[in-house]
Amino acid sequence: MKKILLLSLAVMAFFSTAAQTPEWRKQLDRLDEEADQFYEKKEWKKLVANQEKYRKVFMSLPDSVQQEHFWDTDLSGNFYYNLACWRTLAGDKKGALKTFEYYTDRVIDSEEINLTNINRDSDLDALRDEPRFKACMERLEKWGDYKQKLKDAKQYVQGYVPEGMKFKYASPNDRDLVSLREEFKLDSVAGAGDEISKIKNLLHWVHEVVPHDGNSYNPEIKNTKAMIELCRKENRGVNCRMMAQMLTEVYLAMGFKARFVTCLPKDYVSDCHVITTVYSNTLNKWLWVDPTFDAYVMDENGTMLSIAEVRERLREDKPLQLNDYANWNHKSKQTKEYYIDHYMAKNLYYLVCMDESRFNAETSIKGQTYRYIALMPYDKINTESSSINWYYTRICDEQLFWQSPYEE
């Protein structure tokens, strides 16, 4: 069962500072309140009528207003998916099929979907034997089977090494990193345990020190100290890219080698995800650490894995485990089925990182250079991609991308 989206909540904060809330916004807010009541009472016909009215009000607005508030009001594929479910529950099979077909047309090539949820959603059971529904599912499976896309990706191959290609890591003696370490007492945060426990403790600290907000704007100054100060001052969060950069700086300050890695889908439609990788001398490999979700991934024996290992295990259907306390802002627990098998399976087709890990890595500083290295399946190196910019240095050599930071 889906939880109804109170569509107005996403923009209430925006209008709370305005001198006067527009009449259309008030109307949508009233419809949202009614929709919540209909949903709780399972009055599906009234809920369908309510949502049709909601859509009619929004679609009557000028194009400029629709474009500005499209995502705020969530008239995306999710709206039509829910509407198809509610039509089904209301006994309107014909209308439900038409709406589900519209949903299918809308999301393919433009929005992320969760096939597991669609296949398990009992709200749609009355439609599953219908030829029109089966035709939609066939199309959706081709678009949204992210794990299969990963399995179908060509192998990496060793090959050409771009000129000057070498990953660099700031020294923990760097003035800014020393200041970061001292100001936030990172030695105490890391604790006196072994290397792996320190890696986990520092991951958890960044997850806790600021909340994640995927819709937040990127600050002008992108370093840990500045972002913590900004979040506390404005009572806000930062997105996954900023959180991964913070954790990278924290590891560098503590003497670890680390990078933030942008994990990208084959077809960029809605989002990607950015995590951190830190080198473990104990395990002699890079490790997957995700501050947004306080997450790391393990094999069947509980050994932490690298990004490369997780990707390959997904391709080969080998066992994977997610730490049991992985979560988003302490509001939703992450599961292996969603986080690894769906979300990250989507986002492991391409991998991108900077060639130099340092304090203020992406802050615009005069005279500072910025070089991005993209690891791609060999057949994609010279092809157009909605995920990979042409100014990235493209490679298909996995060993080069994941070389030990201690190799000469």
Which string of DSSP letters, residue by residue, matches 232-252? HHHT--B-HHHHHHHHHHHHH
> For residues 257 and 296, is the Cβ–Cβ distance under 8 A?
no
Strands 273-280 and 356-357: unpaired
Longest dimension (CA), the chain: 68
The predicted structure's pLDDT at residue 18: 43
Q: In whole angstroms, how far apart are CA 53 and each of 31, 57, 83, 118, 335?
A: 8, 6, 12, 25, 36
CB count in 10 Å sphere of residue 271? 14
| Confidence band for 21, pLDDT divided at 50, 70 and 90 | confident
> For residues 212 and 240, is the Cβ–Cβ distance under 8 A?
yes
| Confidence band for 407, pLDDT divided at 50, 70 and 90 | confident
How far is the first Cα of the chain from the last one, in angstroms, to the nearest whole number?
A: 55
| Cα–Cα distance measured from residue 107 to residue 81, given in angstroms and rounded to the nearest whole number | 10
- Whether the pLDDT of residue 177 is over 80: the answer is yes
Chain-wide mean pLDDT for the chain?
Answer: 91
* pLDDT, mean of residues 341-366: 95
393-395: strand order across its sheet: 285-289, 273-280, 258-264, 350-354, 372-375, 393-395
Torsion of CA 30, 33, 39, 42, to 10 degrees: -80
- Whether the pLDDT of residue 330 is over 80: the answer is yes
Worst-scoring range by mean pLDDT, 78-87, 150-159, 249-258, 276-285?
A: 150-159
80 vs 160, higher pLDDT: 80
The predicted structure's pLDDT at residue 285: 98
Burial classification of residue 252, based on how many CB atoms lie within 10 Å of its CB (0-12 exposed, 13-18 middle, 19 or more buried)? buried
Percent of the chain with pLDDT over 90: 76
Instruction: Kindly list the domain boundaries of the chain, sorted by start residue.
Output: 9-144, 150-401
The predicted structure's pLDDT at residue 154: 93
**CB within 8 Å of 399: residues ≥ 6 apart:** 158
- Whether the pLDDT of residue 11 is over 60: the answer is no
What stretches of 90-210 show up as alpha helix (H) in DSSP? 93-107, 115-120, 131-144, 146-152, 175-183, 186-190, 195-209
* pLDDT, mean of residues 257-276: 93
Percent of the chain with pLDDT over 70: 94
Q: What is the CB-side half-sphere exposure of residue 314 using CA atoms within 13 A?
A: 30
- Whether the pLDDT of residue 12 is over 50: the answer is no
Write out pLDDT tens, residues 108-138. 988 889 998 999 999 999 999 999 999 999 9
| Confidence band for 267, pLDDT divided at 50, 70 and 90 | confident
Q: Which of 35-49, 75-89, 385-399 has the highest mean pLDDT?
A: 35-49
- Whether the pLDDT of residue 29 is over 60: the answer is yes
CB count in 10 Å sphere of residue 311? 22
The predicted structure's pLDDT at residue 401: 96
